Structure 1
Amino acid sequence: MAGSPVEQVASSVSTGGGGDEFGYPHGHLGHLTPEQEKALGEFKIFLGDKGLYKRAQAGGKASHEDWTLLRFLRARKWIVEDAYKQFKDTEDWRKANQLEVLYDTIDVEAYEETRSLYPQWTGRRDRRGIPIYLFQIRHLDSKTVANYEKKAESTSASLAKTDGSTPEKLLRLFALYENLTRFAQPLCSAMKDRDNAETPITLSTNIVDVSQVSLRMFWNLKSHMQAASTLATAHYPETLDRIFIIGAPYFFSTVWGWIKRWFDPITVSKIFILSAAEVKTELERFIEPRNIPKAYGGELEFEFFDRPNVDPRIKEAITWEKGHTDFPRGPAYWVPSEDLNTLELYAVGRQDGKERREKICSIPSPFPKVEEPAVAAVKEEHEAKVEAAIEGVKTLSVSSSDDKPSTAEISEKVAAAAVPEAAAEEQKPAAIKA
Structure 2
Amino acid sequence: MAGGGAAAAASEGEFKLEQSASSGGQDIGYPNGHLGHLNQEEEKSLRDFKAFLQEKGLYTPEAAEKKASHDDQTLLRFLRARRWVVANAYQQFKDTEEWRKSNQLEVLYDTIDVDAYEETRRLYPQWTGRRDRRGIPIYLFQIRHLDSKTVSDYEKKIEKINASKAKSDGSTPQRLLRLFALYENLTRFAQPLCTEMTDRDNAETPITLSTNIVDVSQVSLRMFWNLKSHMQAASSLATAHYPETLDRIFIIGAPYFFSTVWGWIKRWFDPITVSKIFILSASEVKTELEKFIEPRNIPKAYGGELEFEFFDRPNLDPRIVDAITWENGHKAFPPGPVLWRPIEGGTKMECVAVGYKDGKQREERVATIPVAFPKGKNATSDVGAGQEPTDKVAEAVEKLAISEKAAETPAGAGPAEKPAAVNA
- TM (norm. structure 1) is 0.86
What corresponds to 2:99 in structure 1? Answer: 93
SS in 1 for 2:381: helix
**8 A contact 2:73–2:208 mirrored in 1:** yes
What corresponds to 2:50 in structure 1? Answer: 44
**8 A contact 2:346–2:374 mirrored in 1:** no
**8 A contact 2:51–2:383 mirrored in 1:** no
Alpha-carbon spacing, 1:426–1:298, altered in 2? closer, same or farther (3 Å): closer
| 1:372-383 correspondence runs (5 A) | 373-376=380-383, 383=390
Shift of 1:58: 1.2
**8 A contact 2:128–2:140 mirrored in 1:** yes
How far, CA to CA, are the matches of 1:207 and 1:318 in structure 2?
A: 26
What corresponds to 1:430 in structure 2? Answer: 405
- Unaligned 5+ residue runs, structure 1? 14-20, 386-416
Alpha-carbon spacing, 1:432–1:261, altered in 2? closer, same or farther (3 Å): closer
How far, CA to CA, are the matches of 2:398 and 2:327 in structure 1?
A: 56
| 1:210 partnered with 2:216 | yes
User: In the alignment, residue 217 of structure 2 is paired with which amino acid?
Assistant: S
| 1:337-376 correspondence runs (5 A) | 337-370=343-376, 373-376=380-383
Most deviating of 213-222 and 150-159 = 150-159
What corresponds to 1:128 in structure 2? Answer: 134
How far, CA to CA, are the matches of 2:206 and 2:94 in structure 1?
A: 23
In the alignment, which of 384, 390, 395 is matched to residue 420 of structure 1?
395
**8 A contact 2:48–2:397 mirrored in 1:** no
User: In the alignment, residue 374 of structure 1 is paired with which amino acid?
Assistant: S
What corresponds to 1:196 in structure 2? Answer: 202
Deviation readout 1:239-261 (Å, 9 max, x if unpaired): 00000000000000000000011
| 1:111 partnered with 2:117 | yes
How far, CA to CA, are the matches of 1:176 and 1:272 in structure 2?
A: 24
- Unaligned 5+ residue runs, structure 2? 1-11, 409-424
User: In the alignment, residue 332 of structure 2 is paired with which amino acid?
Assistant: D
| 1:289 partnered with 2:295 | yes
How far, CA to CA, are the matches of 2:144 and 2:30 in structure 1?
A: 31
Report how many aligned residue pairs link the two structures: 394
Q: Which has the larger Rg?
A: 1
Percentage of matched positions with identical amino acids: 71
| 1:250-289 correspondence runs (5 A) | 250-289=256-295
Shift of 1:372: 6.0
What corresponds to 2:64 in structure 1? Answer: 58
Deviation readout 1:108-135 (Å, 9 max, x if unpaired): 0000000000000000000000000000
Deviation readout 1:371-426 (Å, 9 max, x if unpaired): 7642249x99954x4xxxxxxxxxxxxxxxxxxxxxxxxxxxxxxx7830365257
Shift of 1:94: 0.1
SS in 2 for 1:345: strand
In the alignment, which of 184, 190, 193 is matched to residue 187 of structure 1?
193
Structure with greater contact order relative to length (CA < 8 Å, sep ≥ 6):
2
**8 A contact 2:52–2:397 mirrored in 1:** no
User: In the alignment, residue 280 of structure 1 is paired with which amino acid?
Assistant: K
Shift of 1:365: 1.4
How far, CA to CA, are the matches of 2:208 and 2:379 in structure 1?
A: 19
What corresponds to 2:317 in structure 1? Answer: 311
Shift of 1:322: 1.3
SS in 2 for 1:375: coil
Deviation readout 1:329-367 (Å, 9 max, x if unpaired): 000100000310011000000001111110001001135
